[in-house]
Amino acid sequence: MKAITQLKNQGFRITLPRQEILNTLENYPLTVREISHTLKTKNILVDLTSVYRSLELFKQMGIVQEIDLGDGMKRYELIRQDKHHHHFVCNNCGTIKDISSKIEKKMMKDIQSKTKFLIQDHSLEMFGLCQKCN
């Protein structure tokens, strides 16, 4: 279901800030500042606070996902239909690429049966050099 529809269906208002924030997230994960800056270049001024609040709402609605690359800022990306994936960050140019792996599920099952922990979620981030920078 499209994010906007989802908002409407759940009784939330379709505001310009919300629509535009969602638009910025089309391509790759962004920080709050990056979202705000992107909007500024389109002459759409949205306060940082509102960006934070919108993202919090989107997160709770399952529209958006928070990712942490360990650099002190959270990043946000749209959740595409059940396409669980991870990220590769280039240490040189900073580009973020989506990564998905088939072995992953097996790995989680393995760990779960070995440890008897119930794994509800996990995050996997990779760092290195992208094809261009290598």
Binds DNA (CB under 7 A): choice among 6, 23, 31, 65: 31
Beta bridge partners of 106: none
Binds a second copy (CB under 8 A): choice among 8, 47, 91, 93: 91
Long-range contacts of residues 56-65, Cβ cutoff 8 Å, at least 24 apart: 57/12, 57/18, 58/3, 58/21, 58/22, 61/6, 61/7, 61/10, 63/3, 63/6, 63/7, 63/22, 64/25
Which span (6-14, 99-107, 109-117, 120-128) binds DNA, by CB under 7 A?
A: 6-14
DSSP state of 31: -
Are 36 and 44 contacting, i.e. CB atoms less than 8 angstroms apart?
Answer: no
Q: Please identify, using beta-carbon distances, which residue of 26 and 121 lies nearer to a second copy.
A: 121
When asked if residue 42 is in the footprint of DNA (CB under 7 A), the reply is: no
Which residues make up the interface to a second copy (CB under 8 A)?
66, 68, 70, 74, 88, 90-91, 97, 99, 101, 103-104, 106-108, 110-111, 115-131, 134
Residues that bind DNA (CB under 7 A): 8, 12-18, 31-33, 45-50, 52-54, 56, 72-74
